[in-house]
Every structure is written in C-alpha cells, then in structure tokens.
C-alpha cells in the first residue's frame, strides 16, 4: 500500500473482526478472481468516519468471483452452497455470492438497464451507482490486502456521494436517499444528473 487513503482503508478493514473473518474464510476457498465489495467495505469506512459501530448498517457481504467457463445458474448455485457451508450463522446467510461472468445474463431483466459482459470481477466496480460504493478488497495468501477502487477513494473519505461519471444509472436518486438516511453526514452532489 503506497497511498494514505489505501492505508486508512486497510486499517479500517483489518479493524473489523467480522469482515476479516469473511475475508479469511473466502481466501481459503480459493475461488477464481474473487473480491468482497460494495457495502461490506464502504459502509465500514462511513461508520469509522462518523463514529458508528463498524457493523452498523451491514446487511450482507457481496462476494464476486469470475468463472467464464460455466455461466449456468447451476454452476453458480454450487459455489453459493460451497461458500455457505464454510460459514456459521449469521454470516452464512449474509455472504451473497455472484459469478460476475454471468451478471449480464440477468441484470437488464432485474434492473431495466443494459449490462455488457465483464471480463473480470474488478470490472463490476466501474459500473456501480457511485464512486463512493466502488471499492473491493481481497485478502491474499500472504495476508496482504489488495484494494481495488477504479475511481479512487477520495469520495469515500470525503463522505461525498456523486453519480458514476462513466455510467449513469436509474438508481442514483433512490440509492443516495437510502444512504443519506443511514449516514446523514454524506454530501450528495449532482443528484439531478442521474
């Protein structure tokens, strides 16, 4: 880790026992190109910055992996069951697994927006509603923490919620309202563009 925001993020992640348990357990499963991302990461930073409990607002742990060799639901379901069997409740019910190689097969039907195929798990971060949400981490075999944030971490540490500059989505207004209800310290910028 070379820059200060990444070091701060790593300290926050490593300071969350439940998140570290998820990262350690998933690392040991050795899924292809896996990441824990979205709320499991950014919410911990928001909680830290606003003086809340680290687990405040955490509803799930989004786990993405990438396996283009079999994009069937059945193959994904086998991985979902494998991951679930590695955890005890309540984490068993909280880790949500998705093969990022198959998201384009169902996304438009569910969200009403086109979604081109991805080439790796980290690509999904570039499509999130806001740069603030677009952060993922992976715990490596040598215990290093890999941080992926295609838009950087400045919005996250500034408590600034802006629309994704590369991909406008239908959900920014709804998502920003939900986030500011939980973290009123957030500043929403350019919400009328989404």
Number of domains the chain is built from: 1
CATH of the domain at 93: 3.30.460
Task: Name the residue range of residue 123's domain.
Answer: 4-152
Cis peptide leading into 165, omega within 30 of 0? no
10-residue averages of pLDDT along the chain (194 residues): 84 97 98 97 98 95 98 98 97 97 94 92 96 98 97 97 88 91 94 47
Flag whether 11 is in a domain.
Answer: yes
Flag whether 164 is in a domain.
Answer: no
pLDDT of residue 2: 52
Flag whether 189 is in a domain.
Answer: no
pLDDT of residue 137: 98
Strand partners, 188: 161
Flag whether 74 is in a domain.
Answer: yes
């Amino acid at each position: 880790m070379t820059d200060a925001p990444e070091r701060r993020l790593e300290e926050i992640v490593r300071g969350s026992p439940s998140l570290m348990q998820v990262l350690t357990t998933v690392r040991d499963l050795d899924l292809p190109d896996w990441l824990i991302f979205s709320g499991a990461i950014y919410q911990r930073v928001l909680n830290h910055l606003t003086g809340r409990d680290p687990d405040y607002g955490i509803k799930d742990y989004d786990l993405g992996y990438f396996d283009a060799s079999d994009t069937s639901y059945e193959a994904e379901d086998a991985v979902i069951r494998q991951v679930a069997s590695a955890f005890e409740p309540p984490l068993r019910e909280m880790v949500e697994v998705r093969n990022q190689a198959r998201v384009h097969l169902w996304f438009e039907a569910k969200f009403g927006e086109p979604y081109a195929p991805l080439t790796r798990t980290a690509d999904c971060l570039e499509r999130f509603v806001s740069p603030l949400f677009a952060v993922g981490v992976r715990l490596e075999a040598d215990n290093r923490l890999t941080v992926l944030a295609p838009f950087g971490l400045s919005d996250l540490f500034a408590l600034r919620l802006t629309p994704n500059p590369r991909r406008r989505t239908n959900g920014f207004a709804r998502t920003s309202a939900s986030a500011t209800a939980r973290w009123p310290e957030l500043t929403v910028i350019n919400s009328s563009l989404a």
